[in-house]
Structure formats: C-alpha cells, structure tokens
Amino acid sequence: MKAITPLEVKCLKVVYLRGIYNGLCVNCKGTISDERLLQFGICERCLENVENLRSWKDVLEALKEKGRAYFAHEIYDFHKRFNEFSLFFKRAVGQRMWSLQETWARRILLKRSFSIVAPTGVGKTVLGTVAALYFAVNGKKSYIIVPTALLAYQVSEKIDAYSERFGIKPRKIVYHAGLSEKEKRAALEKVASNDFEILITTERF
C-alpha cells in the first residue's frame, strides 16, 4: 500500500454528508436540508437567508414580504398561543411551568388526546386546573374527572384561588358524593342546561 506523503495530506478535502428531508419544510411542505431544518424549519426556496431572523414573527413577516407565506402562519399562531398560555400560567400559579408541564401544555393546545403517567407532585393537577381556567376565559368548556370527592373539592379550591388573581369567576359545577340531595339536584340541573364553563366530578358521576 502506498503511503500518503505530507503534500498529499494537504490536498485532502473533508466532505460532510448532508441530509435532505422530503415534505418537512413547515411552510411549503417541500424538501429541506438538515441544516435549515435545525433553524426555523423553512427551506431555501421559501427564504434564501434566515441568518438575521430572530423570531417566528420575523420569519412570517419575511415570508409575507416575498409572497411565500403558505403554512408558516400555523406555526407562528401556535407559538403565540403557547406564549400566551405560559404567561397565563405564571400569573395564576406564581411561577413558570416546569419542562414536563410545557410538554403537556403544547399537546393540550394542539388538541391532541394523550394520557399522563407520572409520579405525584410533578404538576399534573395544577396544569389541568390552569388549562380549564384558560379555556373558560376563552369561551370554552372543560370537564375534570377525579377519583375522589376530596380531590374534586381540592381542584375546585385551586380554580377559585387562581381565578381571584385574574379577578374573574367562571361558571363552575362541582359534583361529588359529599353534596346534599338538594345540592346534587341543583348541580344536575345546571349540567342538563349546559350552564357551566368548568365541570368537576368524581369518576362515578
């Protein structure tokens, strides 16, 4: 085998293999390089240069200027809603979401059906109650199902505490075995007439 001389070594050129992914440009759904995918996910055909862009708002404005805004607004709208929810959560709870809560919040805002299997104390109930309040403020209904009457009461108390920080009082129904017959009838009448924004019951409801 012929040995490589020092001169020949200097002439060697390192070539990096690049991946091209089909259908992953978030704007045109076309092909995109791995390098651009790691940036904003916008291919070179949609935007030649993204180096000076700092946010999704900048990206969307640049696409609109070029007349190439196809699907990117969906991503921008999602980021906007997520930031809005993050600020809502911080104001309600008094602190930012943990990383796990942020992951779950994204799925909630994307309207994805999913289950959470996690230890006690990681913020599942807190996120659920804040999300219910957030949806109530935005004209949507939520149904929270818990295993016990005690937990139903605790969730209701949390929602009341968070609501006070916003100066609001959502229409809330709490139904569990600890209610009197009169209270149960009143709650059921409200449920039947759809007169609620947040419904909290045990799993035996």
Which CATH number characterizes residue 89's domain? Answer: 3.40.50.300
In terms of Cα–Cα distance, which of 99, 108, 103, 149 is closest to 129? 108
Residues 6+ apart with CB under 8 A from 17: none
| β 172-175/32-33 pair status | unpaired
In the listed set 70, 90, 125, which residue is the last one of a domain according to the structure? 70
Q: Are 172 and 191 in contact (CB under 8 A)?
A: no
Give the chain's length.
205
Predicted structure pTM score: 0.76
Residue 1 has pLDDT above 60, yes or no: no
Q: Which helix (H) or strand (E) holds 74?
A: helix 72-93
Q: Which residues pair with 146 in a beta bridge?
A: 202
In the listed set 19, 44, 70, which residue is the last one of a domain according to the structure? 70
What is the number of domains present in the chain?
2
Q: Are 81 and 69 in contact (CB under 8 A)?
A: no
- Cα-based distances in Å from 111 to 54, 96, 172: 28, 22, 22
Mark whether 35 and 116 lie in a shared domain.
no
Answer whether residue 1 is part of any domain.
no
Mark whether 104 and 144 lie in a shared domain.
yes
Q: Within its chain, how far is the Cα of 139 from the centroid?
A: 18
| β 32-33/20-21 pair status | antiparallel
pLDDT at 15: 55
pLDDT tens column, 83-101: 999 999 999 999 999 999 9
Residue 198 confidence class, pLDDT cut points 50, 70, 90 = very high
Mean pLDDT of the 111-122 span: 88
